[in-house]
Amino acid sequence: MDKIVEYYNELASTYDEDRFENEYGKFIDAQERLLLNKLLTDKNDVVLDLACGSGRLLDFASFGTDASEKMLEIAQKKHKNKKLVLSDAEQLQFETDTFDKIISFHFFMHLNDEKIEGILNECHRILKKDGKLIFDIPSLKRRNLFNFKSNGWHGAHSSTIEKLRQHPNFRISNIHGLLFLPIHRFPKFSRRFFIKLDLILSNSFLKEYSSYLVVEFVKQ
Ligand SMILES: C[S@@+](CC[C@H](N)C(=O)[O-])C[C@H]1O[C@@H](n2cnc3c(N)ncnc32)[C@H](O)[C@@H]1O
């Protein structure tokens, strides 16, 4: 089995608590929800959550897929009415031209260029005409600024707006920054002021210096 999938199978039972019950996780989760509410406005859209994991963002989709059986079991318990499918994101079990939107969070950052390319091809195949893929990716410019070195596959991948713009099969229709300031390190009482400032900075001309980029790709 793929080492990343094996890791998530083992982590599954504590994933939600481990990643999203702390201040950092809560902040990221809230920011991602704000963005998804802004980007997913058509209630009739058929939406897939790609690498949905334990179903954290499945409120925004009617279908989910993941390669970890254990993560999917947890997701299915939380979202009984969603159609969840076990599969590798590079070989999806869905028909061509099925989805209006695909969302995928905290996923591409684990993968190498070759794997991401294979997955982007699959997304392109299963998206309808003008369909959109919304995903996050760590910002390389931010990493370079702080001389960040990744340790193994976890968080290994990052990118730049310039590189993302060069993709031959997708065009960018939207880019947001996420997590410019280390909000989770600030005293609780002051955070709400910094959250507003963070939102302004993450979406200003400095957005590429945020920790993450949230990208909306349109199928070409
Ligand atoms: C950090 S979790 C993200 C889960 C969810 N999207 C979220 O934001 O909470 C990464 C997920 O990617 C899944 N994954 C890893 N490699 C995969 C692959 N090749 N195909 C499909 N899913 C994969 C893992 O099983 C895990 O559930």
pLDDT of residue 187: 86
Cβ–ligand 1 distance for 158 under 6 Å, the answer no
Going by C-beta distance under 8 Å and a sequence separation of 6 or more, which residues neighbour residue 206? 177, 180
For residue 104, the ligand 1 atom closest to its alpha carbon is 6
Cβ–ligand 1 distance for 51 under 6 Å, the answer yes
**How would you list the strands of the sheet with 127-138, edge to edge?**
83-86, 63-66, 47-50, 99-104, 127-138, 212-219, 170-178
For residue 88, the ligand 1 atom closest to its alpha carbon is 20
Host domain of residue 185? 3-219
pLDDT category at 206 given cuts 50, 70, 90 is very high
Report the predicted TM-score, pTM, of the whole model to 2 decimal places.
Answer: 0.95
Dump the DSSP string for 43-81: TT--EEEET-TTTTTGGG-SEEEES-HHHHHHHHHH-TT
Higher pLDDT, 196 or 169: 169
pLDDT at 214 over 80: yes
pLDDT of residue 82: 98
pLDDT of residue 192: 78
Round to whole Å and give the CA distance between 214 and 196: 18
The total domain count for the chain is 1
State pLDDT tens for residues 27-58. 899 889 999 999 999 999 999 999 999 999 99
Cβ–ligand 1 distance for 184 under 6 Å, the answer no
Cβ–ligand 1 distance for 89 under 6 Å, the answer yes
CATH of the domain at 210: 3.40.50.150
pLDDT of residue 24: 84
Q: What is the mean pLDDT of residues 59-77?
A: 98
What is the share, in percent, of the chain residues with pLDDT greater than 70?
A: 100
Round to whole Å and give the CA distance between 149 and 142: 12
pLDDT at 1 over 80: no
Cβ–ligand 1 distance for 134 under 6 Å, the answer no
